[in-house]
């Protein structure tokens, strides 16, 4: 195999930015098929993005011989089933976050990927961008001393209660859709798995968490706090703060730096305001790494055990908040 030919499951709003655009840039990949529940919607998506094949059958798409990988852009409640179906059909899988609706589902997905010898990657696109790499480098280098405290937040005023993120049966919830990012960021910076000390949610009548705040403790002695909100009453905010024994770091918009970001840190040597060179979006960097994983066997940081561990932390947050599991 000299290139990766993608099929898209779900003509979702995010698919053009997350997959179609990036796949048109690297020389070793392309998008050749799309499936949506509605045949007309699939055909319109295919026409708009110059995709050769469209179908209203997810099962048909994952079995197509002309594709090598599947992008799963469906509601979270469908991630595990269709990722597993694609893996069993011999396809590599790039699965949107949140990876699954429970750690148990994540474990099954990863087990099938290992059994079939295929790449399975959770689409935490931010983690592949040079800005995220630079933040990890500063924190791991000792430049701000030993880590003591992490605080991460992702607030986005969705508000529309008809949105799938407000539907429990589809794996909705602020922690699933938004909180998964700050949880992943803190786990990555701490390089350890947390214990959830406490969690408090603002819950909709449907059982979906609209706002969540959780306190974490890491075995390294680092403490952490995650906050996420999709309430229409809140504003938009994405930030990560890291306190060390010799200094501190603050970064805004780590998730979508292409829209503008701020990276500031300080220690005894001074204060630093950095800009990181980048020649593409977070999705571009993710696509290049995924293709390298599929074609060259390169290890990816957001697959396998990492995806399982992030779902374990999400599950623990819900348990601590007294909310039911997200599994449909």
Cα gap 261→76, rounded to integer Å = 28
Pick the CATH number of 4-125 from 3.40.50.300, 3.30.310.50, 3.40.50.2000, 3.40.50.720: 3.40.50.720
pTM attached to this predicted model: 0.95
Cα gap 308→100, rounded to integer Å = 9
Out of 25, 91, 97, 275, the active site residue is: 97
Mean pLDDT across 227-255:
95
The residues of the chain that CATH labels 3.40.50.720 are 4-125
Query: pLDDT value at position 12?
Result: 81
Q: Give per-residue pLDDT as tens, 57-68.
A: 999 999 999 999
What residues does 151 pair with on adjacent strands?
225, 241
The residues of the chain that CATH labels 3.30.360.10 are 126-283+310-321
Mean pLDDT across 292-301:
95
Stretch among 10-19, 102-111, 141-150 having the lowest mean pLDDT: 10-19
Q: Give per-residue pLDDT as tens, 42-85.
A: 999 999 999 999 999 999 999 999 999 999 999 999 999 999 99
What is the distance in angstroms between the CA of the first residue and the CA of the last residue of the chain? 37
Cα gap 145→86, rounded to integer Å = 45
Q: Give per-residue pLDDT as tens, 113-146.
A: 999 999 999 999 999 999 999 999 999 999 999 9
Question: Reduced to 3 states, what is the DSSP secondary structure of residue 243?
Answer: strand
- Smallest CA-to-CA distance from 76 within 61, 95, 59, 56 is with 95
E runs forming strands in the chain: 4-9, 29-35, 53-55, 69-72, 92-95, 120-122, 147-155, 195-203, 209-217, 223-229, 237-244, 248-252, 262-267, 270-274
* CATH number assigned to the domain covering 126-283+310-321: 3.30.360.10
Give catalytic status of residue 298 as yes or no: no
Q: Give per-residue pLDDT as tens, 145-172.
A: 999 999 999 999 987 778 889 999 999 9
- Smallest CA-to-CA distance from 216 within 196, 199, 201, 200 is with 196
Question: Residue 246: is its pLDDT beyond 80?
Answer: yes
Cα gap 83→80, rounded to integer Å = 5
């Amino acid at each position: 195999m000299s290139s990766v030919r993608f099929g898209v499951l779900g003509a979702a709003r995010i698919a053009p930015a997350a997959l179609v655009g990036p796949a048109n840039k690297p020389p070793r990949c392309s998008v050749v098929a799309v499936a949506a529940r509605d045949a007309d919607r699939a055909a319109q998506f295919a026409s708009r993005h110059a995709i050769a094949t469209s179908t209203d059958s997810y099962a048909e798409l994952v079995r197509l011989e002309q594709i090598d990988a599947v992008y799963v852009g469906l509601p979270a409640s469908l991630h595990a089933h269709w990722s597993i179906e694609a893996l069993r059909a011999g396809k590599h899988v790039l699965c949107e976050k949140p990876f699954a609706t429970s750690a148990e589902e994540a474990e099954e997905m990863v087990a099938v990927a290992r059994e079939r010898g295929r790449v399975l990657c959770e689409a935490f696109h931010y983690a592949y961008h040079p800005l995220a790499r630079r933040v990890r480098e500063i924190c791991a280098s000792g430049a701000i001393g030993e880590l003591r405290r992490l605080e991460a937040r992702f607030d986005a005023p969705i508000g529309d209660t008809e949105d799938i993120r407000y539907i429990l049966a589809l794996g909705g919830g602020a922690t699933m859709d938004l909180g998964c990012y700050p949880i992943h960021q803190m786990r990555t910076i701490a390089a350890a798995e947390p214990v959830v000390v406490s969690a408090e949610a603002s819950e909709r009548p449907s059982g979906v968490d609209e706002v969540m705040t959780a306190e974490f403790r890491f075995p390294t002695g680092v403490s952490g706090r995650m906050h996420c909100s999709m309430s229409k009453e809140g504003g938009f905010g994405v930030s990560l703060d890291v306190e060390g024994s010799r200094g501190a770091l603050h970064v805004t918009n780590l998730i979508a730096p292409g829209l503008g970001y701020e990276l500031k840190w300080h220690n005894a040597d001074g204060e630093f305001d950095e800009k990181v060179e980048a020649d593409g979006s977070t999705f571009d960097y993710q696509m290049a790494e995924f293709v390298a994983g599929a074609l060259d066997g390169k290890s990816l940081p957001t697959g396998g055990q990492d995806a399982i561990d992030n779902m374990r932390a999400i599950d623990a947050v819900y348990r601590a908040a007294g909310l039911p599991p997200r599994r449909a």
